[in-house]
Amino acid sequence: MFKALLITKTDEAGYRCALTELEEAQLPAAGDVTVRVDWSTINYKDGLAITGQSPVVRSFPMVPGIDLAGTVTGSAHPRWKAGDRVILNGFGVGETHWGGLAQMARVKGDWLVPLPKGLSAREAMAIGTAGYTAMLCVMALQKHWAETGTAPGSGEVLVTGANGGVGSVAVALLAALGHTVVASTGRLAETDYLKGLGAAEVIDRATLGAPGKPLQKERWIGVVDSVGSHTLANACASTRYGGAVAACGLAQGMDLPASVAPFILRGVTLYGIDSVMAPIKRREAAWAALAQGLDRHKLAAMTTEIGLAAALDAGPQILAGQVRGRLVVNVNA
């Protein structure tokens, strides 16, 4: 028997997520690696799954959790053997395939990456999909800057949704690379927290969140945006000539009420960042960079640990913007 969060949906009871006990025989048959989960985490998408506020769960019953870190206990996959330490992010786990908010998981070996040396399973989940996505954004910007000859410190880099998981890690990563980071947040009370991560300036998200002009004063050499909608449109409109914007989220909305002006008049590049189906080599590169480049003290400062039962309350909290940084889930607590 093992503990798990389980989402059910019936005509009688409706949509429900609850802590329950399951048998190993109930794990999905569509998987060739069994993992004892040590740690998981809560991301924005997990909040949607737990609350049912958006139809991210595609089949029922479902164990939510798009992330897990643990140890292989059994494998029919050639890459993995019992005792291997592994990480899983995305690939539909927690949506179409049982996920990581449980003490056991059965998954496809092609979805797994090895836990990088020097990184604990807890630290990996403190990073989670949010931090891994932030790294993919930073990698896209770094590649762009290398191609355009843009040096660290040559201009400001904007991070929106800075108090969230993606934003917090992005601030820390970009600051460590020598960039001047401006953090946008709706919680200015967290200014000290963001400056502790490396932000040079903290601005109110209201300055970006309303409809704006299609072309605005040039300011940013790069942007990491996890918000979307008007915020993304304004970020693009105020990016400097030849700059780049990495878009990875839609906390404000899925729409993009923008014009083509920044792209054809200033040569701004908009990168779409997908973390769910990213190729394994790109995933491994991102995790290796995180293991080497993310300050562990800053990671600890942005991390709060909770138990599996507390994840039920964390779901609505993260959707309401009440969570600072990262939530790491001890599934065995």
Assess contact for 160 and 226: CB atoms under 8 A: yes
Confirm whether 2-115+302-330 and 128-272 share one CATH topology.
no
Q: How many CB atoms lie within 10 A of CB 25?
A: 6
The residue extents of the domains of the chain are: 2-115+302-330, 128-272
Closest CA to 289 of 178, 154, 133: 133
Band (321; pLDDT cuts 50, 70, 90): confident
What is the distance between the terminal CA atoms of the chain, rounded to a whole angstrom? 15
Q: Two tokens at 211?
A: 């409809």
Band (129; pLDDT cuts 50, 70, 90): very high
Band (198; pLDDT cuts 50, 70, 90): very high
Q: Two tokens at 138?
A: 């930073």
Assess contact for 40 and 67: CB atoms under 8 A: yes
Q: How far apart are CA 106 and CA 98, in angstroms?
A: 8
Closest CA to 325 of 142, 89, 125: 125
Burial 95-121 (b: 16+ CB within 10 A, else e): bebbbbbbbbbbbbbebbbebbeebeb
Q: How far apart are CA 24 and CA 77, in angstroms?
A: 19
- The architecture that CATH gives domain 2-115+302-330 is Alpha-Beta Complex (3.90)
Residue 81 pLDDT: 98
Residue-wise pLDDT tens digits, 263-317: 999 999 999 999 999 999 999 999 999 999 999 999 999 999 999 999 999 999 9
Q: Two tokens at 209?
A: 């969140």
Assess contact for 107 and 35: CB atoms under 8 A: yes
Band (13; pLDDT cuts 50, 70, 90): confident
- Helix 311-319 / helix 44-51 crossing angle, nearest 10 deg: 110
Angle, alpha carbons 142-145-146 (nearest 5°): 85
Residue-wise pLDDT tens digits, 31-61: 999 999 999 999 999 999 999 998 899 999 9
Band (175; pLDDT cuts 50, 70, 90): very high
Assess contact for 168 and 325: CB atoms under 8 A: yes
CATH superfamily assigned to domain 128-272: NAD(P)-binding Rossmann-like Domain (3.40.50.720)
Question: CA-CA distances (angstroms) from residue 52 to 226, 283, 296?
Answer: 21, 28, 34
Mean pLDDT of the chain: 96
| Residues facing 329 on adjacent strands | 40, 306
Q: Is the pTM of this model over 0.75?
A: yes
Range 57-85 average pLDDT: 97
